Structure 1
Amino acid sequence: MSSDRVLFAGLMSLGVAVIGGYALSQSAVLAQDAVDGPGPNLVIEVAGKAQGEVVIDLLPDVAPQHVERMVTLAGQGAYDGVVFHRVIEGFMAQTGDVQFGKGPSLGQAGMGGSDLPDLPAEFSDISFDRGVVGMARSASPDSANSQFFIMFAPGDFLNGKYTVVGRVVQGMDVVDEITRGEPPRSPDVMQKVSVAK
């Protein structure tokens, strides 16, 4: 093989390697975006039987008032130390009671909210699939405040009746380990909740 051909073959290999490397790096960026989501992201450090980080990609285009509420409460540290007070196998894990969801007595966990007013419903056509996060409420559609739930499995019967605020993009394995019960005997806790853009 002539030196010209060797040089050409070497340059072609280098070009393919560079293009391949670029494609891989772009794939990595897209994969990271899929994990992180466009944001804002709610980052929950879970402690207890379940241990680890759960990242929820919030959906301000879908439910702007509810997302703003969650971001506000997280920014105030109101969610820190709140337990998962209602966790039903094959259904969902509920938390976010900033009024009654902090120990040691959890007798009223699930009955409270924050000191901010309740929110009007922001229903959408997003389906309650596994990993989708919705706002808990009482019988009134306009009664969501601070509590939210994460779906273990699809729950189509909730569609159009509860406000979807986001979806888990990282840490569903942690969510799956959350202790079951209403409330659990030894509930897992949102040790620290923060917001990442």
Structure 2
Amino acid sequence: MRKLVFALCLLCGPAYATGLEIDIAGEAEGTIIIDLFEEVAPLHVARIATLVQEGAYNEVVFHRVIDGFMAQTGDVEYGRMGQDMRYAGRGGSQYPDLPAEFSEITFDRGVIGMARAQNPNSANSQFFIMFAPGPFLDGQYTVVGQVVGGMEVVDAIKRGRGQNGAVIGTPDYMRALRLRDDDPVAAQ
């Protein structure tokens, strides 16, 4: 199985990065530093790395932000600044959906998970950052990383309204993203 996953990863994108830097703009201003879990979710991390290298995540909004829960972004199809935000959250990327890579990692504050539809094998480009622990997500969503710097920036992301957390008005967005292949904590 590991050989199959490795072979698939070679087909789905660039070599792994160990981390990610995301510059946030809007009500929240600053940089979030993420440690990516390439050994836990190799297909999902490779997808993120591919989309970062292509610049696909640049200018993508946080379209669903629920206070006390999480901030969701990554809709590279319909979630770019300047697009009709009514469709944000419905799209993915040009690549096929990914099979789930569930792990024993719990959804604690700062954990990054891949968003998906009802089908567990439907994650594509969207991801979310936890504001607070959400153990009810454990084993249901793929964990891809952990915030190791800039959690105060995450905490400042403009909140949405209502049960679904839709952001009204101008949402915060990911201005630019960079892959890191060194220790993200050392960069702080």
Same fold (TM over 0.5): yes
Equivalent AA in structure 1 for residue 150 of structure 2: G
Aligned letter for 1:44? I
One-letter identity of the residue aligned with 2:115: A
- Unmatched 5+ stretches in structure 1: 1-38
**SS at structure 1 position matched to 2:33:** strand
SS in 1 for 2:154: helix
Counterpart contact for 1:56–1:170, Cα < 8 Å: yes
Give the alignment's TM-score, normalised by structure 2.
Answer: 0.83
* Residue number in structure 1 paired with 2:54: 76
Is residue 130 from structure 1 mapped to residue 114 from structure 2 by the alignment?
no
State the partner residue of 1:194.
Answer: 178
Matches within 5 A, 1:49-128: 49-104=27-82, 105-128=84-107
1:154 to 118, 133, 136: 133
Please tell me the root mean square deviation across aligned C-alpha atoms, in Å: 0.7
1:44 aligns with 2:22: yes
1:55 and 1:112 map into 2 onto residues whose CA distance is 25
Structure 2 unmatched runs, 5+? 1-16, 161-165, 182-188
Aligned partner of 1:174 in structure 2 is 153
SS across alignment from 2:179: strand
SS in 2 for 1:115: coil
Which residue is equivalent to 1:143?
Answer: 122
Alpha-carbon deviation of 1:75? 0.4
TM-score, with normalisation over the residues of structure 1?
A: 0.79
What is the distance in 2 between the residues matched to 1:100 and 1:40? 28
Q: Which residues in structure 2 correspond to 1:13-24 (within 5 Å)?
A: none
Mapped contact 1:132–1:166 kept (Cα < 8 A)? yes
Contact 1:86 1:184 in 2 (8 A): no
Question: Cα deviation per residue 1:80-135 (whole Å; 9 max; x = unaligned)?
Answer: 00000000000000000000001321110000000000000000010000000000
Which of structure 1's runs of 4+ aligned residues deviate more than 2 A? Answer: none
Asked whether the equivalents of residues 87 and 184 of structure 1 are also in contact (C-alpha less than 8 Å), the reply is: no
Which amino acid in structure 2 is aligned with residue 146 of structure 1? S
Aligned length: 159
